[in-house]
A and B are shown apart, each in its own frame.
Chain A
Amino acid sequence: MKKVLLILALSCIAMPLHAEEVKSLRGTRDLDACSEPPQINRLIADDRPIPRDFVQQPPLIPHKKEGYRIDKNYNKCLSCHSWANYKQAKATKVPPTHFQDREMKERANLSPSRYFCTQCHVPQTDVRPLVDNEFEPVKALR
């Protein structure tokens, strides 16, 4: 019993020393307080194709895609990037790999597993990263 009390007493003294404050990148706000409204980030409206940073990186979208719907009836991205349309639109065409389904079978049209472009390809905003990043692409891509 004495031991237990001693441990308890010691831990009470030790507690403040161990309590390191956890700081969130979002700032220190109480859970029940209103959070700061996030900054409105602007999409990069119109840029040249952005080089890849690593070999298998899905290329980034260098333009706005506001209102570009992708649904069962139509894929707005493909109205410029499909093989039938890319010449007229002077756009990058969908690569042949996207015509393979998951059994690696070549299909006559884009594979449904590749239909939802924005699952991998994302547009860019002018936001500044919260944490410094020193990532550099491999030499072959530089």
Chain B
Amino acid sequence: MSNRNKASGFKWATFLLGGIVGIVLLAVFLGELHYSASEKFCISCHEMEDNVYMEYKDTAHYMNKSGVRATCTDCHLSNNLVEKVGRKVKAVNEVIQHFSGTIDTREKFIDHRLKLAERVWAEMKATDSRECRSCHTEENMDYTKQSSRAMAQHLQGEAENKTCIDCHKGLAHRLPDMHTIDPSAVISVTE
């Protein structure tokens, strides 16, 4: 075998090996992305399982007449790959907070709840409630089939350019102390 042939064989081998490694890495990456978007993964931290998950089990997004479920990531993770990966990078903070025990008891979680909820509301408002709309599209929503109260509110909301989360807060989890947001609807013992 000539030297030239040897070199070209080596090149092909490297190329092939690189390809295989690449495919394996891609598969691992996609697999991880898929697994880390599963409910099982989300509630593997007790902060999620004991608080938000327990509350969610009591709502229509967990159990309803038709048996269709929306799980954590249906509402809290974009379908867009780039944004999905971006969210995973942000989640590094969640890992740090988990290990520093920021919300490791129910009391601590409740103390932090307003801040956490406001962050999620802001995200949903910024995307015009995109994750809500991946199931509930405005175009396919037949207002005439809704209750008269719901129909009136939806038409009004649409006219005022509102987005889902503006009204539908605390739908799948309990609300934080809403004193600063709607004082007229919170118990006031001192006033």
Enumerate chain A interface residues (CB-CB to B < 8 A): 45-46, 63, 66-67, 69, 71-79, 82-85, 88-90, 107-110, 112, 115
Contacts and interface: CB of A to CB of B under 8 A. Distances in A.
B187 A75 contact: yes
Interface string B161-191: 0000000001000111110001111111101
Contacts of B188: 107-110, 112
A82 B186 CA distance: 10
A109 B178 contact: no
Name the prevailing secondary structure of the B interface residues.
loop
Contacts of B186: 72-75, 78
Contacts of A45: 147
B177 A85 contact: no
B59 interface: yes
Given A73-B176, A90-B152, A85 B182 contact: yes
A3 B97 CA distance: 88
Nearest to B58: A67
B149 interface: yes
B87 to A, nearest CB: 27
A109 B174 contact: no
Given A73-B177, A74-B170, A74-B182, A108 B187 contact: no
B30 interface: no
Contacts of A78: 182, 184-186
Given A45-B147, A72-B177, A73-B177, A85 B187 contact: no
Given A107-B191, A108-B191, A85 B153 contact: no
A108 B60 CA distance: 35
Nearest to B170: A74
A75 B176 CA distance: 11
Contacts of A107: 188, 191
A73 B33 CA distance: 36
Contacts of A108: 188, 191
